[in-house]
Structure 1
Amino acid sequence: MDIAELKEVEEIIDFQQFNPGYTLYKQGIVFRLFAPRATRITLTIFDHYERSTGADFNMHKDSEGLWNFYYPRQDIVGKWYAYSIFSLDESDFFESTDHFIADPWSKFVTKRNHYLGFAKTKILKQADYDWDGTDFVTPKDPRDLVIYETHIKDMVAHPSAKTYVQGVYNDFREAQIGGINHLKQLGVNAVEFLPLQNFAYYEPPFNEEIANGLTNTWNPHSRNHWGYMTSFHFAPETMYSSDSSYDEEAIVGRHENAVKEVKDLVKALHKEDISVIMDVVYNHASQYDLNPLKYTAKDHYFRLDNVGHYLNDSWTGNDINTSAKYSRKLIVESVKYWMKEFKIDGFRFDLAGIIDWETVDMIREEARKINPDAILIAEPWGGEYKPAGFSDRNWISWNDRIRNGFKGYDPYSNKGLLLGEWSHGTSRFALENFIRGTLKNAEHGLFNTSKHSVNYIESHDGYTLGDFIRLALNPDLRNKSFKNKNEVTKLNEQQMAISKLAALSLFVSQGVTMIHAGQEWARAKLIVDHDNKDKNVGKLDHDSYNKDNETNWLNFSEISLNRDLFNYYQQLIKIRLQSPALRKAQPEEINFKVYKDPLHITFSIDGRSTGDQYDYFISLNGNKELAHEIVLPQGSWQVLADAKSCDFKGIKSIKNTFNVAPSSGVLLRKLRVSNA
């Protein structure tokens, strides 16, 4: 087909019917790119990723700022393309570059291990995939979930995970100790992965000035291990595939293994009745690579000041303008794509306070057309603090208030009930409300229903719960450099007591329960640096986002150091999943008792509305010095958990009174006698 014929074909194609990106259409392929400030765009098709030249085609701009091109054959499937973008606009509202720019709507990209990435889009034809009859695994009520938040690689990278070293996606599925097998052993029914969308893993070299004059003085590891620097929202991360390499300058994603391997992993998790939740980042974009949103339509995709500089309410370098038409379209369509293509059950939206309400509503509407029980979780801050607004829109949110009430915010200056103190601004009545579900009609309330509250006391951010407790009890550990990790990981008697009280407090609170990887054995994070650039080596880490090493990798052999705590979590998970009253009772069914010590919280739960055949009596003693005797309601009560142990079958039966030791709790249940 010559140029004249191609122009005739393009004139009869209604490009408006196609999303941005590429679309296989009839015998050819449609390409679309939104770049309103560009004055010329060249599409280059490459036979091989490494090529710096290829077949060039000029695109045509429509009235909305979209550039269109129709390639009349499909003989370029399996090849790569990228854009050269030119503009006469020299203002800061347009970001120019001489580099090729990949498609923002790429379903798959190939990159080089370099902070710029040098991404090119690979053209794929959708392949059939056998899901073996599996489908979404989502409960009608999110309170039936026990979520395990983890970085996917951290659960298979350490030798103790016992993997076959066939790529992270495959290793997570097949590991003998880590990965899925650990989730099964623990008993959780949902996993929340830190970002799996293609992200900028590399940062500029430490203390070296790069071409734009920037010097990385903040990150001696030059990595973004956690993945909160998304580059391509539709494409799976290829670093975790079986054909990846971590060698500098290596090409990653040459083959599309990652697509099938993500599906294989999701299918394997679904076969174990484990929901798959994916952390997604739509509030900001990657900062140092050739992020296509910046180089195609900076002033559309991002919030800028009046001279074209990025606003930064997210504290990540830039904020996406989610209310802009093509930002919103990209966000909503990528959520739909991950659900349809990969059967993802739900999403946790990073710094969702930056996302506008119209986009929030559209995400919910479109996601629940695909799966009516889709799990939508907001991190409801960033710019604004909006958990109440998310609850009004039938979203779930992370609950930082229960975290701070129980644990505190800072191990040195802001400790909570578990450590025998009151977190700033928290009262006894507020803490009771946190246990009921942090409901709007009571003190410090946030939510219309407890099903909107994700209760947690450890996440990927900040110190691990174990380290928070260690530091709160002994602040001198802050500056200590440990040579032997087992020395700090092994809990002493007081640390173990508080760790068990923390677990019990979390698992008897109404709402959705989440724990973070390694919380179940109070893992410590000690800073590791094999390149000797980090001056804090051996110290406890409170921000491990940049360390792809033993700092973050889970050492499953450490479970034996705190086996009692691991067993405690394992049994609490069983108890919670078989006890609906512990997670979704009505507020009026939870009655608090009056004791003189404000650090001593005791309450009963009538499980009748939930269909639970038991009533419960719970006492949490945050006082580190004093024991308290509690008076039990009439009858024989079965002890499920106390200061020492936990057993879903029951430990023993008691009557009349029980002595609650300092820094401990007790969970009791009694079969309800029908009055009928």
Structure 2
Amino acid sequence: MEISAPPPSANAASVRRPTRMLEGRPHPLGATWDGLGVNFALFSANATRVELCLFDLEGRKELERIDLPEYTDEVWHGYLSDARPGTVYGYRVHGPYDPENGHRFNPHKLLLDPYAKAHIGALRWSNALFGYKLGSSRGDLVLDRRDSAQAMPKCVVQDPAFTWGRSRPPHVPWEHTVLYELHVKGFTKRHPAVPPAHRGTFAGLGHPAVVDHLVGLGVTAVELLPVHAFVDDRLLLEKGLRNYWGYNSIGFFAPDPRYMAGQFINEFKEMVARLHDAGIEVILDVVYNHTAEGNEMGPTLSFKGIDNASYYRLMPDNARYYINDTGTGNTINVSHARVLQMITDSLRYWALEMGVDGFRFDLATILARESHGFDAGGRFLDACRQDPVLSALKLIAEPWDVGPGGYQVGAFPPGWAEWNDRYRDTLRSFWKGDEGQIAELGTRLTGSADLFNRRGRRPWSSVNFITAHDGFTLADLVSYNDKHNDANGEDNRDGHSENLSWNHGAEGPTDDPEILALRARQMRNMLASLIFSQGTPMLLAGDEMGRTQGGNNNAYCQDNEINWLEWADVGKAGHDLIAFVRRLLQVRRTHALLRRGRYLSGAQDEDLGVKDIAWLTPDGEEMSDAHWHDPNARALAMLLDGRAPATGVKRYGADATLLLIINAHHEVVPFVLPDVVGGREWRRLVDTAVPDEPEAEFDCGHAYRATGRSLALLELQRTDRRRVPRSPGE
């Protein structure tokens, strides 16, 4: 049912007064300070009128409403000469309230500018936030006339000026990249070296003590859980919970104020500069697939009231309802040119203005879905590939969603990396002792060529991980058989029930020394497997110190001790594990063979007389098909020949030859150390069963005793330490 825009209220009349509003320009979109005034530009294809609403500096009192005087190419625009950085504003957008035809305009609702660079204030849940009359027998079809301004955050005009000085992006090559997923608040909220006022903020993350930990660990990039402005769900707040992870965006250009120690967005830039100076890149987890406005019964906060029919995918046979490929109530309409522009403008803003080095795209399949389904040549992916700014960034896909054909691991185009859940599940299953995992393990350890080796994609395309924010921490993975999510208020129904976890004999905390020792070794096994695999490793913050969430595998709503890192409580076991991870990453940096830029083939190079990889049984023989398909096989060795060419050029490699021994049996398995051409003995670099023992050397042919459930990495010592020939006959 269509309802015409209501006449201005008495309150609206009271805030109208003469202004110096000029025509302005339709671009750039948003509020742009040019040194003399501010240009305001807002896209809406279906609005009939747009009012700019100005507020006091705290955003509490509405001072003035001014019509944007011009409408060009579906953009409403005007130039306000007396506006300045710090001006607080919002919009009221007029047009038909006709949900059955996809239109939900309601000028009683104050709306956030989609291009706002900063927000002030927090959303305070009120029935006035809804565009329809709550409780009506006609559902969302009856327009609500209450003013929502008092319950809304507001937008703030920004001056983009910032002096980067000598700070430059590190430009870490993909082959050298080690990702570290963290939450801005949870990582520093309990850090004793960070000043209390800075804990849980961008300033805290840029603190020297925090940066030193990252550098000392050996990671090259932090992947930040969402920092775009987001909303706490009403239902969660009523339960005393919060939307901790932040996957509920309402502004794609504005950093969320809760992560800022002050009022200026330059705090984010200062954090980036400090991380860059330490050689660490910044990757943002971004949520361009849905917004916090929910479905037809959700609130009207921004996009829904500006142009619902353009910003969202609506049901083709009934535009009152939303397509829900995200599982959150709505799906952003990336197929619309202006919506696609908003997303790419946002990405470029964060890269060029805020200094970030890349993005991890939540539910990225949605961004590549066209009307006919997933399309690796779809509009968004093509836009990223041809854009000179975006194509040079690190782009990481979470390659699935809940829509039809949503699982697309390996299907993204060249230039993209992807989270590889096949890697996660295989490594968990193997170290848990499940049958029939050997063949799958070999594929995952070597870059998952079955998924990514096409169209010139490289092994780094596989983002390997064993844990992430969504699920058990590493310590919980080896301590719990079952999830324990009671604190979430859903009677433990939420979260995945099948986690491929194993408690090793006791559920949760225990004092049993044998169980604790085995859990610690299993953590070392999985960390070593991850860091020594081909591809891009990703660590979950806190796993290096054995952080626990008490068995909660869906802690999205826990803004408390469940998620915060307890730095002061890291005991000897935690510090030992930190030292072990540092050692693993040092080995990875030192040995290029662990981070090759091309896939291993296992084929004999007849010209050079070498093959890059060989798989060995404990007896030192090459594995046969029977070995690969033996369901009870749980031990193998991977021989990486450092003489194999590192590139497509026919010349010998100059890397050290490595032997990775893996034993998931519960008993000791002797491995015959192979006699390799040019080698005299093997030096043990790492053994997860004896992490504190120094390096040791063993003769070729020696039977190396691999402890039950352990991993060891050895390096071949050459008989002739002279330079390796670079080409045949040299």
Same fold (TM over 0.5): yes
Please say if 1:300 is aligned against 2:307: no
CA distance in 1, matches of 2:541, 2:470: 12
8 Å contact from structure 2 (residues 110, 301) kept in 1? no
8 Å contact from structure 2 (residues 32, 157) kept in 1? no
* 1:50 CA drift (Å): 3.4
Match of 2:331 among 290, 304, 319: 319
Larger Rg: 2
- 1:126 aligned partner: 160
- 1:386 aligned partner: 408
Please say if 1:659 is aligned against 2:688: no
Unpaired segments ≥5 residues, structure 2: 1-15, 130-150, 369-377, 481-500, 602-611, 619-626, 647-652
Identity %: 27
Distance of aligned partners of 1:630 and 1:294 in 2 relative to their CA distance in 1, 3 Å threshold: farther
Letter in 2 for 1:616: L
Deviation by residue 1:374-396 (Cα, 9 ceiling, x = unmatched): 21111111132223331x33211
CA distance in 1, matches of 2:693, 2:302: 52
Letter in 2 for 1:222: L
* 1:111 CA drift (Å): 2.0
* 1:517 CA drift (Å): 0.7
Deviation by residue 1:99-139 (Cα, 9 ceiling, x = unmatched): 21121100111122534661211112222x22221111122
- 1:286 aligned partner: 292
CA distance in 2, matches of 1:301, 1:511: 36
Match of 1:109 among 106, 116, 119: 119
Please say if 1:571 is aligned against 2:583: yes
Letter in 1 for 2:386: E
Please say if 1:420 is aligned against 2:433: yes
Match of 1:237 among 242, 251, 256: 256
Please say if 1:587 is aligned against 2:600: yes
Aligned length, in residue pairs: 607
CA distance in 2, matches of 1:648, 1:445: 42
Letter in 1 for 2:30: G
CA distance in 2, matches of 1:445, 1:549: 44
* 1:663 CA drift (Å): 0.7
Distance of aligned partners of 1:94 and 1:372 in 2 relative to their CA distance in 1, 3 Å threshold: closer
SS in 1 for 2:247: coil
Please say if 1:43 is aligned against 2:62: no
- 2:444 aligned partner: 434
8 Å contact from structure 1 (residues 108, 235) kept in 2? yes
Q: CA RMSD in A?
A: 3.0
Q: Structure 1 residues 291-300 or 467-476, which shifts more?
A: 467-476
CA distance in 2, matches of 1:417, 1:433: 13
Please say if 1:345 is aligned against 2:376: no
Letter in 2 for 1:660: A
* 1:571 CA drift (Å): 0.3
CA distance in 2, matches of 1:429, 1:565: 29
CA distance in 2, matches of 1:421, 1:315: 32
SS in 2 for 1:470: coil
Deviation by residue 1:496-534 (Cα, 9 ceiling, x = unmatched): 1211111121112101111101111332102xxxxxxxx
CA distance in 2, matches of 1:310, 1:651: 63
* 1:145 CA drift (Å): 0.8
Match of 2:189 among 147, 157, 168: 157
Distance of aligned partners of 1:88 and 1:314 in 2 relative to their CA distance in 1, 3 Å threshold: closer
Letter in 1 for 2:178: V
Match of 1:404 among 425, 434, 439: 425
8 Å contact from structure 1 (residues 378, 397) kept in 2? yes
Deviation by residue 1:28-65 (Cα, 9 ceiling, x = unmatched): 43211122332222111223333432222112463643
- 1:204 aligned partner: 234
SS in 2 for 1:42: strand
Q: Structure 1 residues 290-299 or 272-281, which shifts more?
A: 290-299
* 1:262 CA drift (Å): 0.7
* 1:364 CA drift (Å): 3.5
* 1:199 CA drift (Å): 1.4
Match of 1:195 among 199, 215, 226: 226
- 2:247 aligned partner: 228
CA distance in 2, matches of 1:552, 1:126: 33
Distance of aligned partners of 1:406 and 1:41 in 2 relative to their CA distance in 1, 3 Å threshold: same
SS in 2 for 1:165: helix
- 2:175 aligned partner: 143
CA distance in 2, matches of 1:469, 1:27: 61
Unpaired segments ≥5 residues, structure 1: 209-219, 244-254, 408-415, 527-539
- 1:473 aligned partner: 502
Deviation by residue 1:248-267 (Cα, 9 ceiling, x = unmatched): xxxxxxx3x2x111111111
Deviation by residue 1:585-628 (Cα, 9 ceiling, x = unmatched): 64131221245552113111123434553010111112234534
Letter in 1 for 2:179: I
Distance of aligned partners of 1:282 and 1:207 in 2 relative to their CA distance in 1, 3 Å threshold: closer
8 Å contact from structure 1 (residues 158, 555) kept in 2? yes
SS in 1 for 2:198: coil
Distance of aligned partners of 1:313 and 1:670 in 2 relative to their CA distance in 1, 3 Å threshold: same
SS in 1 for 2:259: coil
* 1:5 CA drift (Å): 11
8 Å contact from structure 2 (residues 96, 103) kept in 1? no
8 Å contact from structure 1 (residues 361, 393) kept in 2? no
Letter in 1 for 2:212: N
Match of 1:186 among 217, 227, 250: 217
Letter in 2 for 1:379: E
Deviation by residue 1:527-558 (Cα, 9 ceiling, x = unmatched): xxxxxxxxxxxxx2010111111100011232
8 Å contact from structure 2 (residues 638, 659) kept in 1? yes
Deviation by residue 1:484-506 (Cα, 9 ceiling, x = unmatched): xx969997121112111111211
SS in 1 for 2:468: coil
CA distance in 1, matches of 2:323, 2:462: 30
CA distance in 2, matches of 1:41, 1:640: 67
Please say if 1:84 is aligned against 2:70: no
* 1:460 CA drift (Å): 0.5
Letter in 2 for 1:350: D
Distance of aligned partners of 1:155 and 1:289 in 2 relative to their CA distance in 1, 3 Å threshold: farther
- 2:498 aligned partner: none
- 1:522 aligned partner: 546
8 Å contact from structure 2 (residues 385, 391) kept in 1? no
* 1:467 CA drift (Å): 0.9
SS in 1 for 2:46: coil
CA distance in 2, matches of 1:428, 1:664: 15
8 Å contact from structure 1 (residues 111, 118) kept in 2? yes
* 1:671 CA drift (Å): 4.2
CA distance in 1, matches of 2:253, 2:539: 27
Deviation by residue 1:624-676 (Cα, 9 ceiling, x = unmatched): 34534333334311101113345898444454221111110110112455355
SS in 2 for 1:547: coil
- 2:656 aligned partner: 614
Deviation by residue 1:53-94 (Cα, 9 ceiling, x = unmatched): 2222112463643222222x1444321111112222322412
Letter in 2 for 1:302: Y
